Chain A
Amino acid sequence: MPKPNEDTLYKIPFLNLLFAISSIGLLLVTIWMVIDDYSRGWKGYQRRFQALEAAKTGAALKSAEESVNPDELKGLREQLAAAQAAAEGRQADLKAAQDKLAAVATAAYKDDLTYRTLKSTYDARKFEFEEARHAGSSAAALEKETRDLETRMEEYRVKNLEHDQAKAQATAALRALTAQEDETRKKIADLTAGIDRLEKRLETVAPGGAMKVAIEMLNAPLLDFVAPTRRIQQVVVEKVPLDINFARIPRADRCTTCHLAADRTGFEEDAQPFRTHSKQNLFVGASSPHPIDRFGCTPCHRGRDRAVDFVYATHSPDGAEQREEWDRTYGWERDHYWDHPMLPKSRIEAGCLKCHQGVVTVPEAPRLNRGLQIVDRYGCYGCHKMTGFNDRPKVAPRLTRITSKAGTDWIGRWIKDPKAFRPSTRMPRFFGLPNNQGSGDAEREDAEILGIVAYLSDKAEKFPTPPLPGRGDARRGAALVATVGCMGCHAIEKDEAAPDALAARAKGGDDPVVWERRFGPDLSRIGSKARPEWIFQWIQNPKAYNPETRMPRLRLTTQEALDITAYLSGLKDDSSSEERVAPPRPQPQARDAALLAFLSQRLPPAEAQAKLAAMSDRERDVLLGQRTISRYGCFGCHLIPGFEKTPPIGTDLSEEGSKPADLLLFGFADIEHTAPAWFYQKLKSPRSFDADHDAAFYDRLRMPQFGFTDEQADAVTLVLQGLTKEKVPLESVRRLNAREDAVEAGRRIVHDYNCQGCHILDGRGGAIRQAIASHLMSEGRSEDEASSLAPAFAPPIIDGEGDKVQPDWLFGFLKAPSPIRPWLSVRMPSFDFSDRELNALVTHFAAKDSRTYPFQTIDTAAPAGANLQAAIKLMSPDYFSCWNCHQNGARKPEGPPEGWAPDLTLARQRLNPDWIGRWIENPQKLMPGAKMPTYYDPADPKGSAPPDILGGDPQRQIEVLRDYIFTLGQRRGGTAGAQP
């Protein structure tokens, strides 16, 4: 550097000072940069996890050490010392044996080396020789050389074999001398195997000494770019790609960078991020259906796969409390730059739906299933297109003949506020909601309601309801309704549920009646709604009035139908209906104004006026009704004349879960601006987004108020969150095999016809037991008694039905049920299934129990002679006393009715013979809680079998019983399913 001239413009010492200061500054910010990098969150987590793992391994080591019996170890060590001492005496022998082995090994190595050298030379010569011979040139010399090498090779090969033998002998000799010592050593090693393993593990997890220094060097600031041991961990998920709109890219899930124990056991109790995944058997685990190396984390959890920072990974808090905690701990804020934020813990089931589609229930996702159930029951898909619900039938009854069923004044009041009449109804409320509370709105809505009524009665066709053929007895009717099976699907809640439970429900609490019994409407006030003539027709043959109904026939006699009609039409509301909801009153002015508004949308005002003036009062009502039905989309749920082909009015929800919050209209609603918060608000208060908006009535929000409870709204929100646009490759989607497909198809029908209202199936259902118990209580039984007796009077549990019965019998039975348990009042209804449905159901049961369908061999031989005698004896009161409970053809059982069991003479047509055998052997195994006594102790069948029959052999006894039962009723029996 040249010495600066004195004439420089700036003072050099000052510049030097500036240079020095700025250089120091640069050094400082560089250090700061390194520190900033070194202190990134995930590195800290890895350090903490290392300490945690070391502590855990140390603790495990300690407990392993403690679990070793010190006396045993000491004894072995003493033995070892003794053996070593004993060996001292044979030092010379030992030395000789070792020398021998060493000498043999040396010789073997030397000769083996020679052999291998010869072999490779031989291979090379042979190649040359073959080439020369093929080329036709003189190959004699090469041939000779090859043959010589061959001879020498063979010589050494033999030598090697001899060496091997010698070595084996020398080793054996040496072993014989040290045998005792070796054995003791091995015992010690076995005893301390666990400790050794843990010690090695601890060495890896928390190395000591030089290794520790080396590893710390690798992880040191600034050096850690070379080969750090603390590094970002990632699982690349190719098969469930990330859709970044223009392309689909593999996910790189870096969650395990911090969640280091997610895929390891032993950290179940530790705090996050170091906790083992809570469902190892279902997720993450290598043998689970969703192993981490195939599915990673974000396909289910969502979130930003590549992020290693708490906030950027878009963790989502579960509730306000956690949100505040995260804000304090992590400076959490919502990351608006990621469209699929992580699902909070309570909403994780939403992630299932994108792969698990086309199934009635998603395994192990109870809340999601609840949501799907609600969507299905409430018919959201009537107005909104939703994946998985495309071909579902309309949820509400057809209105083509409504005037034959109910009076127009009732219809008007019902439309105005359905829940005022029937609090449990699924029919939502369209009128009188917060966005129609302005001046004139109430009058207009009255006019609209009356318009709908006018339209429906104008278009309704006549359904003949002849006068009742006689008088019924309401008391008998009440008993019939309570016992014949109506209560599997219906409830009469004003009689059944406690008033405070009903009051709580009205305020958004839980429903006091079980879900299955909400399948049909609550009958509490049915007499105020339906005309007796209609009820009489309907209960005898519902499909005559409404071909789409799922209500079955119960094969009622005319008198029974009359009794029930008498009872049901007596179920009227005592309080004045005016008190609950004021009936809509004619509002000609409001009606004309609304009609004019509709007409003026397309026509100039003058023409609209003229058109209106030309219409009669009735015509105006009907037209407003038509416009209102079309605006509110009533035809989404009901079949309405004139709207048979009208497309649904709601937003397509098939990809709703992928909709960014920006595309949702929050209006002035004071809620968090996230899609789930919006869904929830929409479900709870659908019109609230209109608040403070100034909109003409036909531009206001139209979604009706369903009155969902918090729990219901939450479950449906979960479904909406799950309906995403993500396209999962087929190879990653859960695909059903033929058997599972059959199970699902049947399950659909089971759900559609509410079989679980009466039967327990898949571990749930049997709702009718609730009603049977309350009927028993009304007959004077105590509550405990009633609930313990109810199962005896309830329809059977049908889990394992496919295993139990013959498929062709089942087909016939479902088509035309005939009583199996004639003493029960409850009847298997006639559903009038189509053949397609019947086959699906029978296949469903067969597939569920892995039985063959439709044909199978029934191979039993009628017992004779001693066997026949043995069977009859076993069934006699001296032994199993079968006829005490089982019906025998027309003969009633001898015991009390609570214990009665099916007619054994039907067994031949009905049951699978192998099932009978297994059933007699251990009924509890096939149906836990079965009433059938267990005659053979499963722990000791041989000991518990009657010893004096067939030599006390339980298998033979069961066989003859089964074969005998198969001969019962042989002469009487007709063919299955032939009876009406």
Chain B
Amino acid sequence: MSAVDSIKHVVNWLSEPSRFFVITVAAFFVALFPGEMGPGWLRRLTRPVLAIYRPRVAAAMFAVIAVLFGFACLDPNFRSIVGKPDNVPIAGMIFLVGFFVWFAVQQGRRNDALKDAGQPIVEKRETGDGKVLVWPDLVYIEFICLILWCIFLVAWSIFLKAPIEEPANPSKTPNPSKAPWYFLGLQEMLVYYDPWIAGVLLPGLIIVGLCAIPYIDKNPKGSGYYTFRERKPEIAIFLFGFVVLWVWLIVIGTFFRGPNQNFFGPFEYWDAHKLVPLINIDLSQIIWVKLFGVALPKNPLVRECFGLLLVLAYFVALPPLLAKTWLKSYYEKLGPARFHIMVFLMLTMIALPIKMMLRWTLNMHYLVTMPEFFFNI
């Protein structure tokens, strides 16, 4: 096996979802808070990462990633997936989201540094009174962007034809069957939760939660200028939801989910015949059958009591506990109503990665399953 093949092999191995997810989350927090989190050794270890907020380092990093990406395209399997006309914008999205997240955090950090040095922040320096003219500073630039964007879209549409696929055929559905790219996150959730949760409840809560942000967020800072230090938790929570639980899931759904909805590494051939052992098991079965060695109780409430207790504890017992311990300062700052809404939304958000990890590591099917009432969690 050549060196290149070994690297591909390692990348494929790392792309196994639980590993890839842990790596992604770790990378997310390290990149956002280098040298600021965890015990002292971890802080020392991650401090050098701070260098990525220097534009030259970041530019070099982007260049290296782009070159690696180009090299990866020499692999036929990688190329066939990334080069698919449908997937090209998602590949572009990785770079765009990466750049803009970096850019926003970098702007905030630069202002923070200016403040520390007792100098006026960038926005102040550029505008003085914090105001700019609509014409030309806003509308002219928007107009130029509009033109450039038109150029790009026209050229793109000439290069990559919109693919016309076959007429829908109930006896021969596309494999994999995928949602439009912007719904791939939702589709990924459907793997772990019942449709009523993944398709109705969670999307509804996303919208409600986004609407609720201005009412929950009492931090007045950071309005009209970039800052990172003054809004760390807000930025971290939002970016976790957006980058990890939305964009990352879209990327997973696009590039890693292959035929039969199986996971494939980026350098793996999408073999429709690949078989993956998939025997999922419910929490009640784990406890009653595997642990206690008895048959499942007939009464669904008895049968599912552990799962129900767990879910109740998560949503009912955990918030007051948090209010007294880890999030005490927030409880005091926000008051009980705001605090409980915020914690509920956060717990709901975190429930997704929890269930994902349970599925990937323990083949957990449902925590609570009551098909009698069409109720599964």
Contact = CB atoms under 8 A, between A and B. Distances in A.
Given A2-B135, A8-B137, A245-B167, A19 B143 contact: yes
Contacts of B171: 245
Contacts of A12: 136
Interface in B135-175: 135-137, 140-141, 143-144, 147-148, 150-151, 154-155, 158, 163-172, 175
Interface in A9-55: 9-10, 12, 15, 18-19, 22-23, 25-26, 29-30, 32-33, 36
Contact of B151 (A10, A29, A339): A29
Interface residues of A, number: 31
A5 B140 CA distance: 14
A9 B137 contact: yes
Contacts of B141: 10, 15
B137 A29 contact: no
Given A15-B141, A29-B154, A10 B136 contact: yes
B299 interface: no
A25 B170 contact: no
Given A15-B141, A33-B158, A26 B147 contact: yes
Interface residues of B, number: 30
Contacts of B154: 29-30, 32-33
B158 A25 contact: no
Contacts of B133: 4-5, 7-9
B127 interface: yes
B132 interface: yes
A18 B141 CA distance: 9
Most buried by A among B150, B158, B166, B170: B166
A9 B132 contact: yes
Nearest to B155: A29
Contacts of A1: 135
Contact of B136 (A4, A25, A244): A4
Interface string A216-251: 000000000000000000000000000011100000
A33 B168 CA distance: 31
A12 B140 CA distance: 9
Contact of B165 (A5, A33, A337, A663): A337
B234 interface: no
Nearest to A668: B273
Contact of A25 (B127, B137, B148, B169): B148
Contact of B158 (A22, A36, A244): A36
Given A8-B137, A29-B151, A339 B127 contact: no
B137 A26 contact: no
Given A245-B169, A245-B170, A337-B163, A19 B151 contact: no
A33 B164 CA distance: 20
A22 B147 contact: yes
Interface in A313-348: 337-339
Contacts of A2: 135
B61 to A, nearest CB: 27
A595 B176 CA distance: 41
A10 B132 CA distance: 10
Nearest to A667: B273
A662 interface: yes
B332 interface: no
B295 to A, nearest CB: 23
A895 interface: no
Contact of B147 (A7, A23, A662): A23
A660 interface: yes
A12 B132 CA distance: 14
Contacts of B147: 19, 22-23, 25-26
Given A22-B151, A25-B148, A33-B154, A338 B140 contact: no
B136 A337 contact: no
Nearest to B126: A9
B151 A25 contact: yes
B366 to A, nearest CB: 32
A36 B158 CA distance: 8
A339 B135 CA distance: 56
Contacts of A23: 147
A312 B135 CA distance: 48
B127 A19 contact: no
Contacts of A339: 166, 169, 172
A5 to B, nearest CB: 6
Interface string A549-566: 000000000000000000
Interface in B114-144: 126-127, 132-133, 135-137, 140-141, 143-144
B184 to A, nearest CB: 21
A30 B158 CA distance: 11
A337 B168 contact: no
A652 B165 CA distance: 28
Contacts of B166: 337-339
B202 to A, nearest CB: 31
Nearest to B135: A2
Nearest to A28: B151
Nearest to B163: A337
Contacts of B148: 22, 25
Nearest to B165: A337
Nearest to A30: B154
A26 B163 contact: no
Contacts of A244: 167-168
Given A8-B137, A15-B136, A337 B164 contact: yes
Given A19-B144, A22-B144, A32-B158, A245 B168 contact: yes
Contacts of B170: 245-246
Most buried by A among B135, B136, B154, B155: B136
Nearest to B164: A337
Contacts of B158: 29, 32-33, 36
B169 A15 contact: no
Contacts of A312: 164
A26 B169 CA distance: 41
Nearest to A663: B172
Nearest to B137: A9
Interface string A655-676: 0000010110000000000000
Given A22-B148, A337-B163, A15 B172 contact: no
A19 B158 CA distance: 23
A752 to B, nearest CB: 36
Given A2-B135, A244-B167, A339-B166, A15 B155 contact: no
A4 B151 CA distance: 27
A10 B137 CA distance: 6
Nearest to B148: A22
Contacts of B175: 662
Contacts of B155: 29, 32
Contact of A19 (B126, B135, B140, B172): B140
Interface in A894-918: none
Nearest to B140: A15
Contacts of B168: 244-246
A26 B151 CA distance: 5
Contacts of A337: 163-166
A9 B170 CA distance: 58
A688 B155 CA distance: 48
Contacts of A22: 144, 147-148, 151
A8 B140 CA distance: 11
A36 B157 CA distance: 11
Interface in B166-222: 166-172, 175
B126 to A, nearest CB: 6
A23 B150 CA distance: 10
Contacts of A32: 154-155, 158
Which 3 residue pairs spanning A and B have beta carbons closest together? A244-B167, A22-B147, A29-B154
22 contacts: A7-B133, A8-B133, A9-B132, A12-B136, A18-B144, A19-B143, A22-B148, A23-B147, A26-B150, A29-B151, A30-B154, A33-B154, A244-B167, A245-B170, A246-B168, A246-B170, A337-B165, A339-B172, A662-B172, A662-B175, A662-B272, A663-B172
Given A12-B136, A15-B144, A22-B144, 4 more contacts: A10-B140, A30-B154, A36-B158, A245-B167
